[in-house]
Structure formats: structure tokens, C-alpha cells
């Protein structure tokens, strides 16, 4: 005879049965409090006032007016609280989307070609002064924090697409019918970006892009251009391996990847989140042969989190087994969001932003299988936190090789909107974690900026084994930018700028053997196996150009620790990096501003 359901389970079943009528489910929190968790209607979800959903019946003038209004407000708004998501249901559209700060444009089909925009989804370099000429606004080096995903674009005949971006601006699951320029097309600067799981039919011209990462994509018209660090992985139509002149690092396959989850609408009109399957040793897009394999989860299984949703409600929903969909906006936290159940999906729309206000870590992920966190930004508040995000706990040892936790388009910021403080941005204790495009940034401009103001010791600390990072950007932290203590770690593309603002080497000096400054990437002395491909570190010590960093990369000299395609750059000759890696590589300084090492050990 089966045991009857425990009282709490019977109560929960009854509560769920009444959910449709009541609109909420009362859940007992871990502390015993009864909390009302809103129920999501997957046919008509409330995605917040800053999410705009269009279908083919929407008049084109209405669509154009809306995207133009958003673009006008967000053109220079890199530190404001406004966030937007512009979503298109399957069908054909005529639209010119000029994509500005904190705006996501995405299709709601299962396949990128389910939505086609005749026109543009573009990013222009047309607002930031470059050099001393106030009329030269072609600078794209601050075109951050925006995203284009899961749709196709057919550009007008004779025109090109412009995608003049720098960090935290993914071009993902896109099909571009035409050619693209990755800078303003003339004389503008640009500083990094990502093309992933995308197909570009025409020629891709990188121009002045200083570094760029292209993964699992099809470059139908080929690629032209190189500056310091261009990495191509698991892609077709790429240039051949040829480092350092041109600086192309080409890797034939991607060893283990799960593509980013995304929102879609099924044939009945119901909203779901699609979670792509884990893939091994891949080349090309996930969708080239049709719909990618994976699982669709009804939005009824998600809590739709709005900026006024309490953390207590979020955690109660997580305890209930719900997933989370964050609507566009800045979500201020008075407690830690605790993800404890395996296979939980946490997805943000419009670069939804979490700001911890009380000195507590914004989000922790337990040492469990298969959590996916995607499309989220973590923005430090004025009260210092030990870390903005933690994956696993100290001493975590379980294997997650068959179902790893993955982080997709997850960004961190310390300062800029105002004072922000966090000792570490991200700590990874779990094994087998996959990082799929992340930018960890201690601000170098904006409000609340200064050596003793927006304090942040380290960007990323990896303690877990078998952790893999694809497209990792870490910049301006005050000690080691990245510390990697786990075994068998792998990094594919790394971009770093050392802090601009060390007052002097007495203030900014690491403890290792009398070295000056702190390396951009530190592999722990005890580590025996580690690999990194296409990695760069740059100096721009504008507060004190006499400051010196002894090395860009600091690693143990062991046969299993191998680096390929390294570069150190003194930007404009402002500051010095003495060696690229350990004591290898020529000095990067004013007379010799770029220094390459093809591989290490040599």
C-alpha cells in the first residue's frame, strides 16, 4: 500500500488546482512564511511595460515608431535604468531597428527564419567623440549592452548591415541575408564583440575591430580584417589559422556547448522557453538542419519577475520548482536569490539587471545539474558584496559532465551609474560549468568611478574542475582580473584591459616574487592542466603612465599548462607590460606597442 501524500504536498496540490481562478499559489517558504506566488498564463503573459510584442498584423508604421522612440531615448543612455525588449512573433516585417543601449530585439520563432525583417537590425557608431575632433563621432568603443537574437534580416539590395559594437553586444542565432561591417565603415574604433550560432550570407568585414570572437557560425561570404586578436571556433567560411600576422586563431570545433535558452511562441500561441541540448565537438550552427534539438518549457512553469517582485516571492517560486523570467528593468534586491534545484532556467529579457542593495550576494546557484542563467546583468550597489554571483559552494566536488550548469550573455558591472562595490564579481566552485559570453567590468568611466570609489578586487575566480569559458571579457579589476585554480580549465578567447587608474606601483603590486602590478590572468601554481586560446591583455595607465605590469599572464611552468595566440598591447603607449606571459614575450610600451607570443611553452 502506498503511503498517502504528506499534508504539505496535499495542500500544495489543492492550491495549484485553484491557481487559475486565484492568479496566485500560496507557498510555504523555507522559513515557514506563507508567500503568494503569481501564476503565469502562457497564452497571455504580462511581460512588463517595457516589453513590446509585435505580430504580422501590426501596422509597419506603428512598429517603426516604437523602435525609433526607444532608439532615440537609448542612444547615449548607457548608465540609465531603462531597459527594453522588442519581440517579433513569426512572420514577415518591414522595419529598420537601430539598436541602442539596453535594448534586446529577438524573434519568437523556434527557428531564426520563422521571423524575417526586411530592413535592418543595426548598431551605428554615431554618438561618441573619437580623438580630439568633436565632429568625429565614429567611436564604437562604448557601444555596449544590447542584443540581437533569433531572427533573420534581409537587407535592401545594394545596402550593408552595420554592427559596430564593443563588449556585451551579442549577435546570436541570427540569419543575415547580406553583408556586414563590424565598425562604422570609415575610420572609427571598435573593441570586441560576439557572433554565435549565426549565419551571415554575405561578406563580414571586421575593419577596426581590435578583437572579436566568432563561434559556431557560418560565414557564407568569408571574413576580412584583423587587428590584435580574432578568434574563430567551430565555424565555416573563416580565414585560415595564421597568427600573429594576421592575428587569426582558428579552432575547428567547439568541444562542449549548450546554446542560450530563448523565448518562443508555439503554433497555438502559447509562450515557451526553449532550452537547447548540450552538444559535443560541433561545427556550424545548431539550426542549420532545421529546428535545434532541445526542450520547450511552458511559460506556465515560470515566475515572471518584475522589478517590484520581492526576493521572498522569487525564492518561494524557486522552492516550488518554478523557473524565472525577468522582465526588462533594474531589479533591486534586499536578499540573495537562491537557485537550488537542478535544471532551473533563469532568463532575462532586455538585459534585466540585478542590483544588490544590502551587501548580500545577488544570486547563488547550488551545486546541482543543469542550471541555465541567461541574458542577465549584475550591477553592484554602493554596499560592498563579497561576490555578485556564486555557482556552487566552496568545496563542491560533484561531477556535472553530462548536464553542466551554463551561463549565457551574463554581464557584471562595478560602477558607472554610481558607486558600486564588490570584492569579486563571479565565483565558480562547481565542476563542468560552461560560460558562454560574459563581460565582467569594473567601470573606467561614468559616475562613481575612482581607485578608492568603485572598488573590486577580482573579476572571475574559478575553483571548479573542467570549467570552460567561451568569449570571456574581464576588465579593470584592482588585483588579478581572473584567477583559475581548478584543473582542466579551458578558455577560448579572452579580452582584458588592466585597470586604468593605479596611482603607482607601490599601491598596485602583487605579492609574487617582487612583480610589478597584477597579471590579467593567473593560473594557480598547483594547477597541472589548463588551456587557453586567443588571449589578450592591454594597458592604458592614464592616471600614471609610469606604472608597469610585469606580465599579462602568470601561469605555472608545467607541460599541461598551454596557451596559444597571446598578445599584450600598450594602448597608445600609455603604460608598460614587461612580458606577455611569465618572462616570455617582448615588452609592450610606447616604442613597441604590440607584443605577440604564438604559443607557450614555446
Residues labelled catalytic: 497
Cα–Cα distance, 24 to 16 (Å, whole number)? 9
Residues 6+ apart with CB under 8 A from 308: none
Is residue 135 exposed (0-12), middle (13-18) or buried (19+ Cβ within 10 Å)?
exposed
**Number of Cβ within a 10 Å radius of residue 500:** 22
- Asked if residue 595 lies in contact with residue 564, where contact means CB atoms within 8 angstroms, the answer is no
Cα–Cα distance, 590 to 520 (Å, whole number)? 20
What is the 3-state secondary structure of 555-600? CCCCCCEEEEEEEEEEHHHCCEEEEEECCECCCECCCCCEEEEEEE
The verdict on whether omega for the bond into residue 601 sits within 30 degrees of 0, i.e. cis, is yes
Q: Could you please report the per-residue DSSP string of 293-313?
A: SEEEEEGGGEEEE-TTS-HHH
> Residue 304: CA atoms inside 13 Å, Cβ hemisphere, count?
24
**Main-chain phi, psi angles of 322, to 5 degrees:** -75, 155
Cα–Cα distance, 540 to 227 (Å, whole number)? 17
Angle at 232 between CA 229 and CA 234, to 5 degrees: 160
**Number of Cβ within a 10 Å radius of residue 6:** 9
List strands edge to edge, sheet with 204-205.
161-162, 180-181, 204-205, 223-224
**Main-chain phi, psi angles of 445, to 5 degrees:** -155, 165
Compute the residue count for the chain: 602
Amino acid at each position: 500500500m502506498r503511503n498517502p501524500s504528506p499534508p504539505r504536498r496535499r495542500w500544495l496540490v489543492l492550491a495549484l488546482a485553484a491557481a487559475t481562478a486565484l492568479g496566485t499559489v500560496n507557498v510555504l517558504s523555507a522559513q515557514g512564511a506563507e508567500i503568494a506566488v503569481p501564476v503565469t498564463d502562457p497564452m497571455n503573459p504580462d511581460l512588463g511595460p517595457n516589453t513590446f510584442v509585435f505580430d504580422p498584423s501590426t501596422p509597419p508604421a506603428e512598429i517603426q515608431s516604437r523602435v525609433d522612440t526607444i532608439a532615440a531615448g537609448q542612444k547615449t543612455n548607457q548608465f540609465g535604468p531603462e531597459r527594453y525588449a522588442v519581440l517579433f512573433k513569426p512572420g514577415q516585417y518591414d522595419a529598420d531597428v537601430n539598436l541602442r543601449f539596453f535594448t534586446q530585439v529577438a524573434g519568437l520563432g523556434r527557428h531564426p527564419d520563422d521571423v524575417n525583417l526586411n530592413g535592418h537590425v543595426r548598431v551605428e557608431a554615431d554618438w561618441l567623440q573619437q580623438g580630439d575632433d568633436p565632429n568625429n563621432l565614429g567611436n564604437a568603443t562604448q557601444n555596449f549592452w544590447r542584443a540581437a537574437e533569433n531572427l533573420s534580416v534581409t537587407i535592401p539590395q545594394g545596402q550593408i548591415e552595420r554592427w559596430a559594437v564593443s563588449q556585451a553586444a551579442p549577435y546570436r542565432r541570427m540569419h543575415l541575408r547580406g553583408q556586414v561591417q563590424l565598425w562604422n565603415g570609415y575610420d572609427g574604433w571598435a573593441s570586441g564583440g560576439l557572433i554565435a550560432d549565426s549565419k551571415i550570407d554575405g561578406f563580414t568585414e571586421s575593419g577596426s575591430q581590435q578583437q572579436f570572437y566568432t563561434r559556431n557560425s557560418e560565414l557564407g561570404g568569408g571574413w576580412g580584417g584583423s587587428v590584435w586578436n580574432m578568434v574563430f571556433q567551430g565555424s565555416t567560411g573563416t580565414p585560415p589559422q595564421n597568427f600573429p600576422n594576421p592575428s587569426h586563431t582558428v579552432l575547428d570545433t567547439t568541444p562542449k556547448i549548450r546554446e542560450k535558452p530563448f523565448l518562443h511562441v508555439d503554433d497555438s500561441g502559447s509562450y515557451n522557453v526553449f532550452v537547447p541540448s548540450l552538444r559535443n565537438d560541433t561545427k556550424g550552427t545548431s539550426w542549420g538542419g532545421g529546428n535545434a534539438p532541445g526542450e520547450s518549457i511552458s511559460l506556465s512553469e515560470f515566475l515572471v519577475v518584475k522589478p517590484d517582485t520581492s526576493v521572498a516571492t522569487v525564492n518561494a517560486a524557486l522552492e516550488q520548482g518554478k523557473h524565472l523570467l525577468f522582465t526588462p528593468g533594474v531589479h533591486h534586491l534586499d536578499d540573495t536569490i537562491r537557485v537550488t534545484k537542478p535544471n532551473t532556467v533563469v532568463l532575462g529579457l532586455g538585459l534585466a539587471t540585478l542590483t544588490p542593495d544590502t551587501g548580500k550576494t545577488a544570486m547563488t546557484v547550488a551545486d546541482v545539474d543543469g542550471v541555465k542563467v541567461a541574458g542577465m546583468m549584475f550591477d553592484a550597489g554602493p554596499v560592498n558584496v563579497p561576490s555578485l554571483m556564486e555557482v556552487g559552494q566552496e568545496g563542491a566536488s560533484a561531477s556535472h559532465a553530462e548536464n553542466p550548469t551554463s551561463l549565457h550573455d551574463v554581464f557584471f558591472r562595478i560602477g558607472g551609474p554610481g558607486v558600486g562595490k564588490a570584492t569579486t564579481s563571479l565565483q565558480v566552485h562547481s565542476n563542468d560549468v560552461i560560460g558562454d559570453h560574459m563581460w565582467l567590468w569594473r567601470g573606467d568611466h561614468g559616475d562613481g568611478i575612482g581607485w578608492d570609489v568603485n572598488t573590486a578586487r577580482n573579476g572571475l575566480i574559478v575553483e571548479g574542475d573542467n570549467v570552460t569559458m567561451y568569449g570571456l571579457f574581464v576588465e579593470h579589476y584592482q588585483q588579478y582580473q581572473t584567477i583559475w585554480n581548478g584543473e582542466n580549465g579551458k578558455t577560448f578567447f579572452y579580452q582584458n584591459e588592466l585597470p586604468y587608474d593605479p596611482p603607482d606601483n607601490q599601491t598596485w603590486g602583487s605579492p609574487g616574487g617582487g612583480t610589478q602590478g597584477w597579471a590579467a590572468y593567473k593560473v594557480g601554481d598547483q594547477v597541472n592542466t589548463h588551456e587557453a586560446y586567443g588571449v589578450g591583455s592591454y594597458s592604458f595607465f592614464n592616471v600614471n603612465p609610469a606604472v608597469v605590469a610585469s606580465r599579462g599572464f602568470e601561469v605555472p611552468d608545467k607541460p599541461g599548462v598551454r596557451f596559444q595566440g597571446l598578445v599584450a598591447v600598450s594602448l597608445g603607449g600609455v603604460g608598460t607590460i614587461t612580458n606577455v606571459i611569465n618572462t616570455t614575450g617582448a615588452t609592450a610600451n610606447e616604442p613597441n606597442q604590440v607584443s605577440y607570443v604564438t604559443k607557450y611553452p614555446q
